[in-house]
Amino acid sequence: MTETEEPTGMCHLLEAIQAVIKAADPAQREALAKTMDAYREYYPEDFYWAIGGQAPALLQNLMRTIEAACHSDERSRQRLLRLVDRKFERSV
């Protein structure tokens, strides 16, 4: 990287991933959405941990970006609102 180049940050990475998913064939995007749904159904604790505040920042943002890009905005919002309503158990 030269002094004049701006570093590529997480936002750049997430925007690029979102653009690729949104530009994908609708059937492929739907397949990704179904896979995300199935993962959420079979492993809800893992899924909600991965998009929650305790996940590492890159994983959290990556999961949210994929979720938002492959689903309609309304479906993603409903899932994220459910996350806010969840009560997490504290491990001691």
Has residue 59 been placed in a domain? yes
pLDDT digits (tens, 9 = 90+) for 9-51: 888 888 888 898 889 999 999 999 999 999 999 999 999 988 8
How many structural domains compose the chain? 1
Has residue 5 been placed in a domain? no
pLDDT at 86 over 70: no
Residue type, 35: T
Range of the domain at 62: 26-84
pTM of the model: 0.61
The DSSP annotation for the chain comes to: --TTSPP--HHHHHHHHHHHHHHS-HHHHHHHHHHHHHHHHH-HHHHHHHTSTTS-HHHHHHHHHHHHHHS-HHHHHHHHHHHHH--PPPP-
Which pLDDT belongs to residue 27? 93
Has residue 46 been placed in a domain? yes
pLDDT band at 84 (very low <50, low <70, confident <90, very high): very low
Which pLDDT belongs to residue 83? 47
